[in-house]
Amino acid sequence: MTFPEDFAWGAATSAYQIEGAVDAEGRGPSVWDVFCRRPGAVWGGHAGDTACDHYRRYAADVALMRQIGLRAYRLSIAWPRVLPNGVGEVNLRGLDFYDRLIDALLDAGIVPYVTLFHWDLPQALEERGGWLDRASADWFAEYTTVVARRLADRVTHWFTINEPQVFLSHGYQTGVHAPGKKLPRKHVLQMGHHVLLAHGKSVQALRAASEGPCEIGFAPVGTVFVPATNGPADVQAARQMMFSVHDDSLFNNTWWMDPPLLGRYPIDGIRRFGADSPDVQPGDLETIHQPLDFFGHNTYSAQVVRMGAQGPECVPSLPGGAMSTFRWTLVPEALYWGPRLFYERYGLPIHVAENGMSNTDWVALDGKVHDPQRIDYMARYLRKLGEALRDGVDVRGYFYWSILDNFEWAEGYRERFGLVHVDFATQTRTLKDSAFWYRHVIAGGGDALFDPRPAPAALAV
Ligand code: IFM
């Protein structure tokens, strides 16, 4: 058996992308509620107002998860549902919702993995300066404490923050995500520092509020580099690219991972960003560098790289290569080399906190949703993850993104990532072939992945 008995076979979502009910029971507005109202901001003028109506349909959705056989489910809490103004007054009805959801998951035998921040910053805090204000780290710690006091008796697995690279770059540099700002890099890097500080304070708050042991990690998303061959020079090229700040974008790994995991900003990053580097106060790095229990990574695609005469060279993907409707290239080796190299550098157990593909799925005339590409994608990626396990990488879980088709940020509802098809007009759910296939894989503890027969036709029943 390649995958351990207690492997967390999971799927993931985030609050704004599925909950809807944005005005229900005392929830305050988030930056995404405001951004979606801006003409042209989101494809088709879509918004998360209703999304999958999960707030009202959570019990039926948990039943679907149970039907698929999920062992774990990664959800996020909407900060403005718990603290409508971001700090201060607590909205008990918002907390009650998560209470019910957690209980339903536990009753179904599904372990909840809770993410505290998946981009829906309370608008009230954005208006007070948002992440640019150093106090944001304390706001986040306050929110963490409120959530943990209510849920930590049952929730033992936490992610603090999801993909700082994405919400900071897209939200505050290019402006294509909420709140749609275009700020100088100096400001964005300062915000990034406050986000890391918030992570550290949140870990402290979680440990303080948890009576028993709990497992805490976070979920960054920087680029995975895959060596063109298994030769040592190419592997070294991949390692070098994975763990360096080699361009001006914020999509590198080490800037975001070294401070929490190694207690320092990478020196090449400080050199590259120069005067734009953040102001770091004494003690900040100690606060950021809290002991963590696992390393989460959201892995979708990868860049192939080889060692050239002048150093690492990116290998362009072949014309016509496999890709999702989002135009993300299929590189299954990402789930071998990503976990392997992250484990080598940071030494923590790994969770694949997100992995998945978008597709143009629809309900066919036979009433089913046939998504052979997704089955093939998952089979290829999971086989590679299995190889990483066999080679000694301590991988603890895999969370398919996503259990439901949902609101894909600036793309609205046009990118479907789900194992379950959602008809957004009627809220009808239909399990896709991939959901049945995943059920089969989970039921057999992953063994079906290594069945020599081709995955799609054999298993999509
Ligand atoms: O939908 C997003 C998610 O919110 C964060 N990670 C990537 C997913 C697909 O784009």
Sheet holding 303-308, edge to edge: 225-227, 303-308, 311-314
Residue 395 belongs to domain with CATH number: 3.20.20.80
For the Cβ of 169 lying below 6 angstroms from any atom of ligand 1, the answer is no
For the Cβ of 415 lying below 6 angstroms from any atom of ligand 1, the answer is no
| Within-domain flag for 1 | no
pLDDT of residue 1: 83
For the Cβ of 120 lying below 6 angstroms from any atom of ligand 1, the answer is no
Domain count, the chain: 1
For the Cβ of 387 lying below 6 angstroms from any atom of ligand 1, the answer is no
User: Which amino acid residue places its CA nearest to atom 4 of ligand 1?
Assistant: 14
For the Cβ of 14 lying below 6 angstroms from any atom of ligand 1, the answer is yes
User: Which amino acid residue places its CA nearest to atom 1 of ligand 1?
Assistant: 408
| Within-domain flag for 2 | no
Tell me: the pLDDT tens digits for 130-173? Answer: 999 999 999 999 999 999 999 999 999 999 999 999 999 999 99
Confidence of residue 461 (pLDDT cuts 50, 70, 90): very low
- Cα-to-centroid distance, 408 and ligand 1 (Å): 7
SS3 of the chain: CCCCCCCEEEEECCHHHHCCCCCHHHCCCEHHHHHHCCCCCCHHHCCCCCCCCHHHHHHHHHHHHHHHCCCEEEEECCHHHHCCCCCCCCCHHHHHHHHHHHHHHHHCCCEEEEEEECCCCEHHHHHCCHHHCCCHHHHHHHHHHHHHHHHCCCCCEEEEEECHHHHHHHHHCCCCCCCCCCCCHHHHHHHHHHHHHHHHHHHHHHHHHCCCCCEEEEECCCCCEEECCCCHHHHHHHHHHHCCCCCCCCCCCHHHHHHHHHCCCCHHHHHHHHHHCCCCCCCHHHHHCCCCCCEEEECCCCEEEEEECCEEEECCCCCCCCECCCCCECCCCHHHHHHHHHHHHHCCCEEEEEECCCECCCCCCCCCECCHHHHHHHHHHHHHHHHHHHCCCCEEEEEEECCECCCCHHHCCCCECCCEEEECCCCEEEEEHHHHHHHHHHHCCCHHHHCCCCHHHHHCC
Tell me: the pLDDT tens digits for 264-319? Answer: 999 999 999 999 999 999 999 999 999 999 999 999 999 999 999 999 999 998 89
Ligand 1 nearest-atom number relative to CA 162: 5
Which is it for the CA torsion 307, 311, 314, 318, positive or negative? negative
pLDDT of residue 451: 79
User: Which amino acid residue places its CA nearest to atom 2 of ligand 1?
Assistant: 408
Q: 456 or 361, which is more confident?
A: 361
| Within-domain flag for 137 | yes
**Total-model pTM:** 0.97
Amino acid code (one letter) for 94: G
| Within-domain flag for 3 | no
Tell me: the pLDDT tens digits for 166-211? Answer: 999 999 999 999 999 999 999 999 999 999 999 999 999 999 999 9
Tell me: the pLDDT tens digits for 335-367? Answer: 999 999 999 999 999 999 999 999 999 999 999
Tell me: the pLDDT tens digits for 29-59? Answer: 999 999 999 999 999 999 999 999 999 999 9
Amino acid code (one letter) for 436: F
Active site residue 5: no
| Within-domain flag for 179 | yes
Mean pLDDT of the chain: 97
| Within-domain flag for 309 | yes
> For residue 455, is pLDDT > 80?
no
Answer whether 323's CB lies under 8 Å from 330's CB: yes
What number is the average pLDDT over the span 332-336? 98
Instruction: Bin 74: left if φ > 0, else alpha if -120 < ψ < 50, else beta.
Output: beta
The boundaries of the domain holding residue 112 are 8-460
User: Which amino acid residue places its CA nearest to atom 10 of ligand 1?
Assistant: 408
